[in-house]
Amino acid sequence: MSTLPGGAPPNPLREGLRLERMPEPCTFVICGATGDLTRRKLAPALYNLMLGGYLPPEFSVVGFARRQMSDEEFRAHLRTGIDEFSRNRPVNDAVWDSFATGIEYQAGNLDDPEAYAALSARLDRIDRDRGTTGNRLFNLAVQPSLAPEVISHLGASGLARHGGGAGRGGWTRVIVEKPFGFDGASARTLIRQIGEEFEPEQVFRIDHYLGKETVQNLAVFRFGNGLFEPIWNRRYIESVQITVAETVGVEGRGEFYDQTGALRDIVQSHVLQLLAVFAMEPPVEFAARDLHDEKGKVLRAIHRPTPDEVSQMAVRGQYVAGWVAGNKVAAYRDEPEVAPDSETETYVALKLAIDSWRWAGVPFFVRTGKAMAARVTEIAVQFRRPPLALFGRDGAPAMEPNILAIRVQPDEGILIRFGAKVPGPGLTIRSVNMDFRYGSSFTVDSPDAYETLLLDAMLGDATHFTRDDAVERSWDILDPVLEAWASGRGGPVHFYGAGSWGPPAADGLLEPGGFSWRRL
């Protein structure tokens, strides 16, 4: 019997899935290949796809960056990232050796037209030598400010055209990493610049949260279970909380973060995409266009605040010195390359409203922050209480509301909290949990989000990527908040200790409605 690369016997069902999900031979070009994203995410994801049998043997990788480096040195660079960050360790040497034969490196300045000509010649040679048939996927692993220039050079050199050149077959696609602009105006400029060189079906805007198993399972959970879809509306749901909390600080990215902040870095992309997936209507088909259409309707229905409303629906915070997991954390303003009087938010909490038939009157509370008490991403649904406190007549205390918590990371899974009678005489009611975890319920590991999304891009499946209209609408919602903060009308920066759950002022968004933040 044959075995898989990891040594396990083949499973016919999974073998069929591999064949169905295997892309055509292609070359994966990493623009800005010597950066941290390549080591931490791209290299481990590509190796794990090869290990799992999802990539064809002709699959090739070309690194493209300014630093002078040989093919062998670039292979060693990728191997160190895989050794450190792959979810499958130790590395299978046989799989790595096969993978490494298709890895090459092209040195060149990303602003030099001659470098793109040399890259094009190398890709043509790889097509001939390895049979990649002109199929190319460019990943822009560069600073956001460099993306427009790289896009322009790809177009001017002919590399943006399908097949990479006139008269040749194959496809060409480009992956654009977030952030997608700095505000609404810059996002629209970037969209226009990309559109001048690439057709819409060639562009894949990657938000790695959309590749996580739990986020993708949201549609299955809602639309595949008759138990939940009928109650997914304002009649039964009282409020929704979305939390994206990180324990780390700015991790040496002070200059970038001080110009960006939590609203741009996390809310514009991750949080609003999570909200849209959670709140969307059932699509006609589970296909990219229909899913994007439904998510777009949610974003268009989110109330766009006026400048005077910002201080009532948004709270911004910044961490000061404290302790996280037993480690001393310096104040944000003491971080390298951060202005000593910076007002950049490392925490933000918002109260959002969706003006739609399904969600009218349901508050959506979102929060995200750095140097928080725990690393967790969760969507929590609080259901309405029963209309009559029936058991209170027998002396039982008021029951806590039912909660449905969808954990995106870590320990991906779904928790349901409901009331149950405690065994024994009398009527004592206590909240209990039913807890489903992916890790303990399935015999296979969940793939890393980048594995899922890179494979989708090679297959041309844009389902779990972000469409340009969603990017524009996200900025339309948040631009008034940024403008109010910049003008001083949006309220002050509130400070919170590192290792806490944010500034107490954020509680004020929930208290008028009788709500409170979940204790995680």
Q: Report the C-alpha gap between 350 and 370 in whole angstroms.
A: 16
Q: Report the C-alpha gap between 375 and 356 in whole angstroms.
A: 32
pLDDT in tens, 101-137: 999 999 999 999 999 999 999 999 999 999 999 999 9
What number does CATH give the domain 12-177?
3.40.50.720
Residue 223 has a pLDDT of 86
Task: Give the pLDDT band of residue 392 (cuts 50, 70, 90).
Answer: low
pLDDT in tens, 59-95: 999 999 999 999 999 999 999 999 999 998 899 999 9
483-512 b/e (C-beta count within 10 Å ≥ 16 → b): ebbeeeebeebbbbbbbbbbbebbeebbee
Residue 396 has a pLDDT of 55
Is the CA virtual torsion 47, 49, 53, 55 positive or negative?
A: negative
Residue 202 has a pLDDT of 95
Q: Are 136 and 127 in contact (CB under 8 A)?
A: no
Query: 12-177 and 210-445+475-513 share one CATH topology?
Result: no
Q: Report the C-alpha gap between 449 and 34 in whole angstroms.
A: 21
Least trusted range by pLDDT, from 290-304, 310-324, 385-399, 455-469: 385-399
Q: Where are the alpha helices (DSSP H) in 395-508?
A: 438-441, 449-459, 468-487
Could you state, in order of their start, the residue ranges of all structural domains in the chain? Answer: 12-177, 210-445+475-513
Give the mean pLDDT of 490-505: 96
Q: Is 18's pLDDT higher than 80?
A: no
Task: Give the pLDDT band of residue 473 (cuts 50, 70, 90).
Answer: very high
Q: Are 89 and 445 in contact (CB under 8 A)?
A: no
Single-letter amino acid code for the residue at 63:
G
Q: Where are the alpha helices (DSSP H) in 324-421?
A: none
The DSSP secondary structure of 123-191, one letter per residue, reads: HHHHHHHH--TT-EEEEE-S-GGGHHHHHHHHHHTTTTSGGGSTT--S-EEEEEESP--SSHHHHHHHH
pLDDT in tens, 223-275: 888 888 899 999 999 999 999 999 999 888 888 899 999 999 999 989 999 99
Residue 130 has a pLDDT of 95
Residue 2 has a pLDDT of 40
Q: What is the DSSP letter of 394?
A: G
Residue owning tokens 């037993």: 326
Single-letter amino acid code for the residue at 265:
D
Phi first, then psi: give them for residue 248, nearest 5 degrees. -80, 160
Which pair of structure tokens corresponds to residue 247?
């324990």
Single-letter amino acid code for the residue at 133:
T
Task: Give the pLDDT band of residue 139 (cuts 50, 70, 90).
Answer: very high
φ/ψ region of 426 (left if φ > 0, alpha if ψ in -120 to 50, else beta) reads left
Type and span of the H or E element at 396: none
Q: Is 23's pLDDT higher than 90?
A: yes
Phi first, then psi: give them for residue 153, nearest 5 degrees. -70, -35
Q: Are 23 and 458 in contact (CB under 8 A)?
A: yes
* pTM, full prediction: 0.88
What order of strands is seen across the sheet that includes strand 237-245?
429-437, 413-421, 403-409, 376-383, 237-245, 363-369, 347-353, 314-320, 493-497
Residue 360 has a pLDDT of 97
Q: Are 157 and 48 in contact (CB under 8 A)?
A: no
Residue 236 has a pLDDT of 95
Q: Are 50 and 8 in contact (CB under 8 A)?
A: no
Which pair of structure tokens corresponds to residue 354?
């969706």
Q: What is the DSSP letter of 42?
A: I
Question: For the chain, what percent of residues have pLDDT higher than 70?
Answer: 92
Parallel, antiparallel or unpaired: strands 376-383 and 403-409: antiparallel
Q: Report the C-alpha gap between 18 and 32 in whole angstroms.
A: 30
Q: Which long-range contacts (CB under 8 A, 24 or more apart) does 490-495 make?
A: 490/307, 490/310, 490/311, 490/314, 490/316, 491/310, 491/311, 491/314, 491/315, 491/316, 493/316, 493/317, 493/318, 493/343, 493/345, 494/315, 494/316, 494/317, 494/318, 495/317, 495/318, 495/319, 495/320
Q: Are 319 and 347 in contact (CB under 8 A)?
A: yes
Q: Report the C-alpha gap between 110 and 64 in whole angstroms.
A: 8
Q: Is 370's pLDDT higher than 50?
A: yes
Task: List Cα–Cα distances, 488 to 189, 505, 510, in angstroms.
Answer: 27, 17, 23
- Could you say which of 153, 162, 270, 292 is catalytic? 270
CB count within 10 Å of CB 252 equals 12
At the second CATH level, the architecture of 210-445+475-513 is 2-Layer Sandwich (3.30)
Q: Report the C-alpha gap between 512 and 483 in whole angstroms.
A: 26
Task: Give the pLDDT band of residue 425 (cuts 50, 70, 90).
Answer: confident
Q: Of 250, 317, 304, 319, whose CA–CA distance to 475 is shortest?
A: 304
Catalytic residue check, 494 = no
Q: Are 73 and 31 in contact (CB under 8 A)?
A: no
The DSSP secondary structure of 238-294, one letter per residue, reads: EEEEEEEE-S---TT-HHHHHHHHHIIIIIIIIIHHHHHHHHPPPPSSSSHHHHHHH
pLDDT in tens, 257-268: 999 999 999 999
CB count within 10 Å of CB 15 equals 13
pLDDT in tens, 140-187: 999 888 899 999 999 999 999 875 444 456 999 999 988 888 899 999
Between 509 and 215, the higher pLDDT residue = 509
Q: Of 455, 451, 465, whose CA–CA distance to 82 is shortest?
A: 451
State the chain's mean pLDDT as an integer. 89
Task: Give the pLDDT band of residue 394 (cuts 50, 70, 90).
Answer: low
